[in-house]
Structure 1
Amino acid sequence: MPWIAGQQLQSGKYVIETVLGQGGFGITYKALHVELNQIVVIKTPNEYLSHDPEYEKYIERFIQEGRILARLSKDPHPHIVGVIDLFREGVTHCLVMDFVEGENLFEAVRRRGALPEAEILPCIRQIGEALSVVHQAGLVHRDAHPGNIMVRRNSKAVLIDFGIAKELLPKTLSSNGIAGNEGFAPYEQMSRGSREPTVDVYCLAATLYYAVTGQRPTTSLARKLDDMSLTPPKQINPSISDLLNQAILKGMGLEAKDRPQSMQVWLNMLEAPKATPPPSVAPVHKKEVVRPQVKLKSKATSDKPATKSPRIIPWGWLIGVLLSYLLVGYLLATSNVSYIIWAWAVAVAWAWAGAVAWAWAWAWAVAGTGAWAWAWTGAWAVAVAWAWAGAWAVAGAGAWAGAVAVAGNKLLESFSKFHTFLILASTSSIGLVLGWLGHKIFNTSS
């Protein structure tokens, strides 16, 4: 006979307040833990099962799983009911658990109808994660139907009332003894007492079916024995997503082998695939349209080659080089020097072009660090070469030094050292030739 309100257990440690539920396997009581002044739940096997031949095995399983749940409670999970105590009152074994305030999903659906997908999915995921922990501990809940999922006022879900010892079905019970699970249990659980994790996958998927449709799904036994079909939940509630519809149908696969083989795999089916953003085209666009500034980097900072701007070398500077060497050529022709001196002048011009190219490159590489002195050094080195080549270069040395320093930045922005050398060498050579031709033409006309 069930205990009545006010009955004391464990010498007054617990006081029964009311019966919360009674099924074929056990009775659940709401009680007061006197010392802690805390409301708790006490679960016991049904007394009339004591006459069953399998009763002792049933009790052994009850105690074994109660101890495992107690070990789980040493590292409390926010979505699994905590186990407080395991004791024996007379001949009755008792499992004491936390009392969870709120309403179960049966009550929520009866009060509100089908629940919005966005609201129920977080609760189902929480329970699924809790069941994964249970499975890792070697247990299977086997009773994850809406009545055993409590939703607190803060919308957090808690898994309660483990279906302990349902592997061994007492012979005194008919198949109707598990009618409370009708529509939520897979047929292999009802017919063979299966304890595989796929049982909980089916139960939780069926619970989600009920939550989003407001209707109980077709029972697995009816589907198996009577060949009845399972109406897809989206046909009942068209507002749910295709992803959710497919996850429910997959989780409620009639045969265990057709379902996800672990809870985590099924939970992954509830997650929408994350969209991979397309590669940005901004860098490519900038390279094609914008003309970046020159950035020469040392090998210590970057292995990428410096980007050079495609600007055109200033015509003013080229004309200046051309006219200067035209004057040099004219002066050399006027002096009637030998061809050796001419060859030497061309060599000096080419050496000057190379020196300028290197001096400008060096000046740009150390720009911004006060190293423009290098450009001046290169320029004056050119002036010395001019002085060595002939007295005519002395007068223009200072002017060319300044020109080199100022023009170096502009030229090297546009060209490599090799390009700068070719342009200056060609321009100076052309200037020499034009100066010589000018002298010849002037003398002939005289």
Structure 2
Amino acid sequence: MTWKTGQRLQDGKYVIEKVLGRGGFGITYKALDVELQRTVVIKTPNEDFSDDSEYDKYIERFIQEGRTLARLSQDPHPHIVGVIGLFKEGLTHCLVMNFVPGENLFDAVKHRGVFQEAEILPYIRQIGEALVVVHQAGLVHRDAHPRNIMLRSNIKAVLIDFGIAKQVVPSTDTSINKDGHKAFAPYEQKFRGSRELTVDIYTLAATLYYAVTGEFPTNSLARKLDKTSLTPPKQINSSISDQLNQAILKGMALEAKDRPQSMQAWLAMLEAPKATPPPPVDRFHRTEAVRPKAKLNSEAIPVKATTKPPRIIPWGWLIGVLLSYLLIGYLLAASNAPYIIWAWVGAGAVAVAVALAVAWAVAVALAVAWAGALTVAVAWAWAGT
């Protein structure tokens, strides 16, 4: 039974607005929470299959996983739809979730065309991180195809409509057989109702395939039964990188054992390789010239340049000249030279005497400073002579 627009549930708390989607064992409605005046999504089992032998098992798992999702929503994840509550309307179990506005990835590709690699990867990483949280809670989404990925206007993707109890869906009219959904499911999900984590890895990799090529990937059943090959996405869109091409092919490996065994491992394949720092320079390339150091009192001190030697006064030549003047004065006095000459010689003698005195004092001072006590003794000996 399908509820019609305007139908009221829970004594008028919710009002059905329209059907959003219909899967194998579930129907999704858009409804209004009258008390809070907000739009919500209500998911119910499809009672058209109540005669199926596995229907009771599906209902049990529907309730169990609904409660798990509600507990998961107590710490809301930005990329997982929030579960508000679980109630029963007559004989029908209902799961209430937040309504996520926006456009799903399937319609976005249909209307806008393929995504550039740099544009789609942030969305895929966000959904991958959401699935990591789901897996840690002990769940497998099993329906992470493009119709269940909503793209928000704030450049965020949100994972919606969990494929609850997918392993017990009937063999007819399942979600993986409608609207191309079968192109995103691994064959073991169809054959065995697999609940392994690798199911979500395959589905998300197939979703990425569709986003960058605009084409559905080859059906996994045809690959398994008919040996049909999967066309590499780079053959359809040559602009994608080799790294992205390999990540998609690895995530969509036909056999589960050949895929990455965790969502984190597959997401790591999408990461750009980090730049490797250059190797350290060898020591001999960094050797610096070092001035030799002298040691003084066991401490190293830099060697200073040698100072320019002091200019030496020719004292011997100067004393010789003075003695010559004395000799000339003596000879003139002995030969009775005229008066004027005597005057000149007298003045010269006085000048020489003064010069000798000055020379004597300077000689003594310098001798003390430069030659020490021995030089002073020699100077006095010369003076005495």
What is the TM-score normalised by the length of structure 1? Answer: 0.65
Q: Residue 177 of structure 2 aligns with which residue? A: 179
Matches within 5 A, 1:88-237: 88-170=88-170, 173-174=171-172, 178-180=176-178, 181-237=181-237
Q: Residue 33 of structure 1 aligns with which residue? A: 33
Greater shift, 174-183 or 80-89, is seen at 174-183
Aligned counterparts of 2:123 and 2:371: Cα–Cα separation in 1: 87
SS at 2:11 equivalent = coil
Q: Residue 54 of structure 2 aligns with which residue? A: 54
Aligned counterparts of 1:246 and 1:175: Cα–Cα separation in 2: 33
Q: CA deviation at 1:24?
A: 1.6
Residue 51 of structure 1 aligns with an amino acid whose one-letter code is D
Q: Residue 336 of structure 2 aligns with which residue? A: none
Q: Residue 278 of structure 1 aligns with which residue? A: 278
Aligned counterparts of 2:292 and 2:98: Cα–Cα separation in 1: 70
RMSD: 3.0
* Runs (5+) with no aligned partner, structure 2: 294-298, 313-366, 373-385
Does residue 316 of the first structure (1) align with residue 316 of the second (2)? no
Aligned counterparts of 2:163 and 2:239: Cα–Cα separation in 1: 33
Aligned counterparts of 2:283 and 2:153: Cα–Cα separation in 1: 50
Runs of 4 or more consecutive aligned structure 1 residues displaced over 2 Å after TM superposition: 173-178, 279-288, 290-294, 393-398
Aligned counterparts of 1:83 and 1:24: Cα–Cα separation in 2: 21
Aligned counterparts of 1:276 and 1:293: Cα–Cα separation in 2: 40
Q: CA deviation at 1:397?
A: 12
SS at 1:58 equivalent = helix
Q: CA deviation at 1:114?
A: 1.0
Matches within 5 A, 1:346-385: none
Q: Residue 2 of structure 1 aligns with which residue? A: 2
Conserved? CA contact 1:175–1:190, under 8 Å: no
Identify, as 1 or 2, the structure richer in helix: 1
SS at 1:315 equivalent = coil
Residue 32 of structure 2 aligns with an amino acid whose one-letter code is L
Q: CA deviation at 1:277?
A: 2.0
Q: Residue 21 of structure 1 aligns with which residue? A: 21
Q: Residue 65 of structure 1 aligns with which residue? A: 65
Decide which structure has the larger Cα Rg and report it. Answer: 2
Cα deviations across residues 223-279 of structure 1 (Å, max 9, x unaligned)? 000000001101100100111000000000000000000000000000011012214
Aligned counterparts of 1:394 and 1:113: Cα–Cα separation in 2: 105
What is the TM-score normalised by the length of structure 2? Answer: 0.75
Conserved? CA contact 1:234–1:245, under 8 Å: yes
SS at 1:182 equivalent = helix
SS at 1:27 equivalent = strand
Aligned residues: 313
Aligned-residue sequence identity (percent) comes to 72
* Runs (5+) with no aligned partner, structure 1: 295-304, 324-392, 399-446
